[in-house]
């Protein structure tokens, strides 16, 4: 079990461009569908808890590891998710500043930005597919996303309004 956790999170660590959000669909697929450590509902609950807690959103790996293999699983999952990418960043950072004026650095930065955005967008769609049931929740999600993207409305207010609306209509 611990080796499976290491394999999963070490691999995902190296794919997490722009943050851990981009690998949430793969994490969900592995934890729920492949290894059956969690149900889909439990994964979504853990995702919500990890987003509400202070610190990086990738801390969901602790919760998955804890559920899969107890305290040892949480520790191994944490080390596997943050260790490889931290080591890579440390190594790359040593050379990144030296290449400040080189053409290849600008190309890499421009190329990785859309990758990070695309992975994050795909993550949101994957989570939305597993949580939204019916036209009203879909509509609330789309409306909240549009308002969040296009206005300066506080996201907490959007959560309260969306949750309140769904509670009022009995969803």
Q: pLDDT tens, 56-71?
A: 878 899 999 999 999 9
pLDDT band at 75 (very low <50, low <70, confident <90, very high): very high
Predicted local distance difference test score (pLDDT) of residue 66: 97
Q: Other CB atoms closer than 10 Å to residue 86's CB: what's the count?
A: 12
- 168 vs 138, 153, 171, CA distance in Å? 16, 22, 8
pTM, to two decimals: 0.73
């Amino acid at each position: 079990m611990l080796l499976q956790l290491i394999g999963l999170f070490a691999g995902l660590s190296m794919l997490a461009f722009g943050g851990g959000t981009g690998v949430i669909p793969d994490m969900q697929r592995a934890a729920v569908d492949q290894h059956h450590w969690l149900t889909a509902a439990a994964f979504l609950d853990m995702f919500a808890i990890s987003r509400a807690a202070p610190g990086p959103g990738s801390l969901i790996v602790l919760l998955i590891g804890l559920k899969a293999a107890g305290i040892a699983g949480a520790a191994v999952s944490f080390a596997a998710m943050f260790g490889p990418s931290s080591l890579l960043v440390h190594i790359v950072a040593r050379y990144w500043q030296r290449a400040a004026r080189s053409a290849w650095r600008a190309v890499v930065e421009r190329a990785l930005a859309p990758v990070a955005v695309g992975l994050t967008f795909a993550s949101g769609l994957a989570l939305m597919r597993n949580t939204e049931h019916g036209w009203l929740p879909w509509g609330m999600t789309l409306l909240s996303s549009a308002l969040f993207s296009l206005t300066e409305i506080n996201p907490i207010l959007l959560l309260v309004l969306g949750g309140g609306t769904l509670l009022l209509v009995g969803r």
